[in-house]
Amino acid sequence: MYVVLDIETTGGKYNEEGITEIAIHKYDGHEVVDKFISLVNPEKDIQPFVVKLTGINNKMLQTAPKFHEVAKRIVEITEGAVIIAHNAQFDYRILRTEFRRLGYNFERKTLCTVELSQKLLPDAESYSLGKLVRSLGIAVSDRHRANGDALATLKLFKLLLAKDLDKSIIKTVVRAETLGELSIRQLDIVDTLPSETGVYYMHNKDGEIILLGKSNNIKKRVNQHFTKSGDKARKLQKETKKVTFEKTGSELVALLKENEELKRNTPKFNQKVKPKLFSHGLYQSASEDGYVQLYTAAVNAKGSAGLVTTCTSNASAKNLLFKVSKDFNLCDKLNGLSNAKTNCSKYDEGNCNGACIQKEDVEVYNQRTFEALKTVSLPYKNCIIVDKGREVGEYSAILIQNGEFKGMGFYDLNHQINNIHILESIITPMKSNANTIHIIESYLRKRRVRKIIEL
């Protein structure tokens, strides 16, 4: 027996969503034998983007039953059945969270139509519900409403059952009762964790750290560890007895902390730390006419002479070179992006000032190039990178001296960073190497920090 269901929620923080609508169709493999469809009052506001997506608003739910009023019906209609849903882990997690709030441990087997479709329809362009059913010619009405999506999932499931001629795929995809579910102990662990940025530590019975990592949402990431499949994941789940964490506020601080502590602790379930996090770099040199030229090369082959910044691959180094050339109106020919014999094509388009044919003043061009290089590498050899702290009114500080990463700390008063002696006392010293500079520069290229103060 199967129950095909779909749930609409309020949106919001992970594990804090509320159900706004639920649709369940009980299917015996031949026909629908029972169904339950209802709006649900989540007792909290719906996120605006969800209102726009589903059309369900707060006013519609004022007179709708609350979850505890429909809980018994959900238990009855799903009893002894396998839950079928598109992205089943999401719907199942939402249901278990709601039942847990009522003090009830809701457990069912699940079957995900995304996973089934990936196996039985390997050539599909997309496995999102809307695109998938449309490509299969399945009619859908009331998209992004619970009953409309549940009916679409039911039709998709019928098609998949028909395609699974030897039934072997369904047998292997049906999850065991413990797979994708959290034990009471694991649920208690997850409940104590914050949905914030930081570093988390998974401990065994002896207190040893067996895995550590960084995340922008610690609660969500640990929950994923507990619901992941595979032999290694199951061993981690079995050995984990406690999870501790440190909030950082800043993702950059979390990255640097993770990098440092992985080397110091070497947890058994973490991958071995790479001696070098990058393979290629952006380099600078001077042309015969004195213009600064930029180019990419493998770091091992070229070394550090003229190295501006590092990248994880040749492709990312090339992309970076294209970006700075475009953003700062630099010459493609000088930077090796054009093989033109005379001027580059950007000159003809008015996007190059003629450095390729010595028409632009060398000093003017080079000054623009140096401004470009500030955006891809550390802008100052001595500076403080200021970002978010662990709580309101607090900030994180990353100290750079003589081009080296010295460490990081937290402060809440400006005089703590205006006085170098106080600053050095609140900073936790850390080792600087090519990897730490790579982490900092890569982060600054992609994301913003609060500010960078030159010392």
Q: Which residues does residue 63 pair with via DSSP β-bridges, in sequence order?
A: none
Grouping H, G, I as helix, E, B as strand and the rest as coil, residue 292 is strand
Q: Report the distance separating Cα 51 and Cα 385, nearest Å.
A: 39
pLDDT the model gives residue 133: 85
pLDDT the model gives residue 165: 56
For residues 284 and 308, is the Cβ–Cβ distance under 8 A? yes
Grouping H, G, I as helix, E, B as strand and the rest as coil, residue 398 is strand
Nearest alpha-carbon partner for 45 in 68, 16, 88: 16
Grouping H, G, I as helix, E, B as strand and the rest as coil, residue 165 is coil
- Could you tell me how many residues make up the chain? 455
pLDDT the model gives residue 164: 67
Q: Please identify every stretch of the chain with a pLDDT value under 70, giving residue numbers as ranges.
A: 164-182, 301-303
Pairing of strands 82-85, 451-454: unpaired
pLDDT in tens, 354-394: 888 888 899 999 999 999 999 999 888 899 999 999 888 89
Pairing of strands 292-298, 280-286: antiparallel
Furthest-apart CA atoms within the chain: distance in Å: 83
- Type of residue numbered 383: C
Nearest alpha-carbon partner for 286 in 322, 334, 331: 334
DSSP label at 59? G
CA dihedral 337, 341, 342, 344 (to 10 degrees): -20
Q: Report the distance separating Cα 172 and Cα 115, nearest Å.
A: 11
pLDDT in tens, 193-225: 999 999 999 998 888 899 999 999 999 999 999
Grouping H, G, I as helix, E, B as strand and the rest as coil, residue 301 is helix
Q: Report the distance separating Cα 320 and Cα 57, nearest Å.
A: 44
Grouping H, G, I as helix, E, B as strand and the rest as coil, residue 37 is strand
The architecture in CATH of the region 184-265 reads 3-Layer(aba) Sandwich (3.40)
Q: Report the distance separating Cα 219 and Cα 194, nearest Å.
A: 6
Q: Report the distance separating Cα 291 and Cα 170, nearest Å.
A: 64
Q: Provide CATH code, domain 2-173.
A: 3.30.420.10
For residues 328 and 371, is the Cβ–Cβ distance under 8 A? yes
pLDDT the model gives residue 303: 63
| Rounded alpha-carbon distances, angstroms, from residue 445 to 329, 392, 425 | 18, 26, 29
Grouping H, G, I as helix, E, B as strand and the rest as coil, residue 399 is strand
Classify residue 100 by burial, with Cβ atoms within 10 Å: 0-12, 13-18, 19+: middle
pLDDT in tens, 277-308: 999 999 999 988 899 999 999 998 666 788 99
